[in-house]
Structure 1
């Protein structure tokens, strides 16, 4: 199996000839470099192309970036064998429906890990140095530096929930930049994970939450992780801790975070992921009213390098899987 492929079942598909250039339907806008590459491997049909409207009836393979694929969508695709997914998150795809059909989801873990990790660093520093508040006040009138305050990040404790590619990269950056103490939790990673990185591995997520000066979440959104960080957990965090969610909206309970911040708990929070995306002022006005909140519209992978890497990986992983069916 190619790296980054999620195996959703063992139901066999008919083999395909490696000499046949398969048709792939791309449901979303795609990186131009990766699109050109895809056209060397597949017959590509995009939105606006003749025949695209019949993708459900005809598609044996899809490439998607942000589109949702519901159980009804899957059911309406009788020929579907595989889905190439731009990025690591597959929560917009009905995984149970795919598993029942033996449809493979070829996602791209690790392709944008560095870029997301760098955004975690940017959010953390912005919050620690109170940059949003200072900048906002300065736009109204001069701000004497004596009225500004901030947190020193050197030798602070970084708590990581989720020890995958992004969590590891965040830990490496903070260890190198701030000589941070690292405390980490993950129920799936082996005990010998991160042998190159000095850290404390714990078996209770609450231990990470209670001891972190900076708490950074890097797990997928599942039934188990939804509302993982709610009011009780936020209240158990250090008074001046920083909370970062650059994973998925819904892992941090947004109403509970708004309440806790209004009560003066936490130094601040950085959110690159929200339950509503893109986030709107109508929904998040009360949260954004806290000047110690920095919110961005899921831009962790919004760099040219990351977009190219993820799109290329989705194409290549899908191709490798489809070619494996010919063996």
Structure 2
């Protein structure tokens, strides 16, 4: 069988993507708007997507489609039940960001715990230049050693984050939550993790059960000295509640790499925050050069394995 492969979001990967090693035709588009999905996939047997939504209604108009290869780990924009009922295989990317995401987590953590943004702002305003001594003590600096990191999500990235935390001399608590995966990991009740964590880092998928997992009630249970780090999915946190928590001093700060809607074309309350205890980056924790090339390689391997009758990384 000759396959027609269509890549709807080529610009979502900054890496070399080789052609599959089987008979096929190929199309790619830099990005795809919602009303372009069906016309572009009408003749496709294999669709490569990132964030393009594929609902049951859309899939009903694509009878030739047999496989969806996702260029990410998350697949919350795809109607998985509809894919199963229609016999469409869905494969995602796994274990490619085990270094880049945890490293980004600790870039945020260290910047916040050591008040780097606040100190940079003071230098820009001339405070150090006016100092009567060789250093400034205007903002607290906290070490990581001896503190507690709470992690929600005990998958590969959560585990890698924990390993780095332990390297800093931190105590690690994995929270019991509704999307837990690894039974062999010792889990701690979420309320206890919220109460004891000096840093809470989110690494769980976005599902109906985890949407708004962290709201104002959860933020009130955290230490006032705690940090909240989210490099997973924006929808895990009630963003308005986070703004309220920062305004009221319920937590000491937050570092986010994700928003509920991306890109945030219609605004977002977190975009308006201008404070040294909040850092927002544009969903780039996963995007080291090495990680993206690993992702691109695995993407084609997933497709080739499925065509060869030995599918891997299926979520259907």
**Structure 1-normalised TM-score?**
0.83
Select 2:172's aligned residue among 178, 182, 189.
Answer: 182
Q: Contact between 1:287 and 1:293, CA under 8 Å: does it hold in 2?
A: no
CA–CA distance in structure 1, aligned partners of residues 170 and 198 of structure 2: 10
Select 2:184's aligned residue among 192, 195, 202.
Answer: 192
Q: List per-residue Cα deviations over 1:74-109 (Å, max 9, x = no partner).
A: 122111111111110111222232222122211012
Q: Contact between 2:114 and 2:141, CA under 8 Å: does it hold in 1?
A: yes
Which segments of structure 1 move beyond 6 Å, counting only runs of 4 or more? none
Q: What is aligned with 2:187?
A: 201
Select 2:6's aligned residue among 19, 25, 31.
Answer: 25
Cα drift, residue 276 of structure 1: 2.5
**RMSD, aligned CA:** 2.4
Cα drift, residue 171 of structure 1: 0.3
- The answer to whether the aligner puts 1:47 opposite 2:38 as a matched pair is no
After alignment, is 103-112 or 225-234 more displaced? 103-112
Structure 1 residues 270 and 281, CA, compared in 2 at 3 Å: closer, same or farther? farther
CA–CA distance in structure 2, aligned partners of residues 201 and 33 of structure 1: 37
Q: Contact between 1:162 and 1:218, CA under 8 Å: does it hold in 2?
A: yes
- The answer to whether the aligner puts 1:159 opposite 2:153 as a matched pair is no
- The 5 A counterparts of 1:288-303 are 288-303=273-288
- The 5 A counterparts of 1:32-111 are 34-38=16-20, 42-47=24-29, 54-111=39-96
Structure 1 residues 74 and 293, CA, compared in 2 at 3 Å: closer, same or farther? same
Q: Contact between 1:216 and 1:243, CA under 8 Å: does it hold in 2?
A: yes
Cα drift, residue 215 of structure 1: 0.4
CA–CA distance in structure 1, aligned partners of residues 259 and 296 of structure 2: 23
CA–CA distance in structure 2, aligned partners of residues 172 and 325 of structure 1: 33
Cα drift, residue 281 of structure 1: 9.5
Q: Contact between 1:239 and 1:267, CA under 8 Å: does it hold in 2?
A: yes
Structure 1 residues 39 and 296, CA, compared in 2 at 3 Å: closer, same or farther? farther
Q: Contact between 1:82 and 1:322, CA under 8 Å: does it hold in 2?
A: no
Q: What is aligned with 2:114?
A: 129
CA–CA distance in structure 1, aligned partners of residues 92 and 271 of structure 2: 35
Q: List per-residue Cα deviations over 1:48-77 (Å, max 9, x = no partner).
A: 8xxx98433211111112322233321221
CA–CA distance in structure 1, aligned partners of residues 105 and 23 of structure 2: 35
**Structure 2-normalised TM-score?**
0.86
Cα drift, residue 132 of structure 1: 1.7
Structure 1 residues 123 and 279, CA, compared in 2 at 3 Å: closer, same or farther? farther
Unaligned runs of 5+ in 1: 1-19, 194-199
Q: Contact between 2:194 and 2:221, CA under 8 Å: does it hold in 1?
A: yes
Residues paired across the two proteins, number: 296
Cα drift, residue 278 of structure 1: 2.8
CA–CA distance in structure 2, aligned partners of residues 61 and 285 of structure 1: 37
Unaligned runs of 5+ in 2: 31-36, 312-316
Q: What is aligned with 2:213?
A: 228
Cα drift, residue 244 of structure 1: 0.5
Q: What is aligned with 1:168?
A: 159
CA–CA distance in structure 2, aligned partners of residues 281 and 169 of structure 1: 34
Cα drift, residue 33 of structure 1: 5.5
CA–CA distance in structure 2, aligned partners of residues 32 and 148 of structure 1: 38
Q: What is aligned with 1:5?
A: none
Select 1:245's aligned residue among 225, 230, 244.
Answer: 230
Q: Contact between 1:163 and 1:218, CA under 8 Å: does it hold in 2?
A: yes
Structure 1 residues 285 and 25, CA, compared in 2 at 3 Å: closer, same or farther? closer
